[in-house]
């Protein structure tokens, strides 16, 4: 799998790719929270950050998936959750990790994830996982994440498990 890295400066050029993969992943999901319009708000919100990073995976000339996020500012944390007392220092918030169905379960998601989080000098990585997806939560636990809290950042969002991985070790 080939990996491509993007920064804030590339956000406009990669926006359509992110939205198109999202549309494929959520094609059969009627929840308005997972609509292209709603997701485009999050893509734009995150990619406006100057330290935004994104990694996409490519195989056989087509996209496998992507992951993106950015560092929290000092004291920053997920809306609707209290930051754990022992999570201090440089914290990378992974906002999205999506892999098209053809490549799910092949180990490519972890490669994309690792390429993203290893490309930044941070102490912790954190992410949100929809609480109704225990298999996804279990996958992140296998990768070294631990559930720290639950959060519902907006009225229309699902309840999320707040997960953290310590990279200092």
Give percent above pLDDT 90 in the chain.
93
Q: Is the pLDDT of residue 151 over 80?
A: yes
Residue found by looking up tokens 């754990």 in the block: 84
Q: Is the pLDDT of residue 86 over 90?
A: yes
Residues contacting residue 167 through CB under 8 Å, at least 6 positions apart: 117, 122, 123, 124, 125
Q: Is the pLDDT of residue 120 over 90?
A: no
What pLDDT, on a 0 to 100 scale, did the predictor assign at position 91?
96
pLDDT tier for residue 74 given thresholds of 50, 70 and 90 = confident
What's the chain's Rg over C-alpha atoms?
15
What pLDDT, on a 0 to 100 scale, did the predictor assign at position 78?
96
Q: Cα–Cα distance between 98 and 109 in angstroms, integer?
A: 8
Fold adopted by 2-166: Aminopeptidase (3.40.630)
Q: Is the pLDDT of residue 109 over 90?
A: yes
Other beta carbons within 10 Å of 76: 12
What pLDDT, on a 0 to 100 scale, did the predictor assign at position 102?
94
Name which of 162, 169, 120 is nearest 145 in CA terms: 162
Q: The whole model's pTM is what?
A: 0.95
Q: Is the pLDDT of residue 56 over 90?
A: yes
Compute the average pLDDT of residues 55-62: 96
């Amino acid at each position: 799998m080939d990996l491509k890295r993007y920064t804030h400066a590339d956000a406009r050029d990669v926006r359509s790719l992110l939205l198109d993969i999202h549309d494929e992943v959520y094609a059969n999901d009627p929840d308005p929270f997972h609509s292209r319009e709603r997701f485009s708000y999050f893509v734009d919100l995150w990619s406006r950050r100057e330290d935004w990073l994104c990694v996409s995976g490519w195989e056989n000339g087509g996209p496998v998936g992507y992951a993106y996020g950015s560092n929290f500012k000092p004291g920053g944390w997920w809306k609707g959750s209290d930051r754990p007392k022992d999570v201090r220092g440089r914290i990378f918030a992974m906002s999205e990790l999506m892999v098209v169905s053809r490549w799910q379960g092949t180990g490519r998601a972890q490669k994309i994830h690792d390429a993203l989080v290893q490309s930044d000098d941070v102490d912790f990585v954190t992410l949100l996982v929809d609480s109704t997806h225990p298999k996804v939560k279990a996958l992140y636990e296998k990768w070294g994440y631990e559930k720290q809290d639950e959060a519902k950042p907006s009225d229309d969002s699902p309840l999320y498990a707040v997960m953290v991985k310590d990279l200092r070790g």
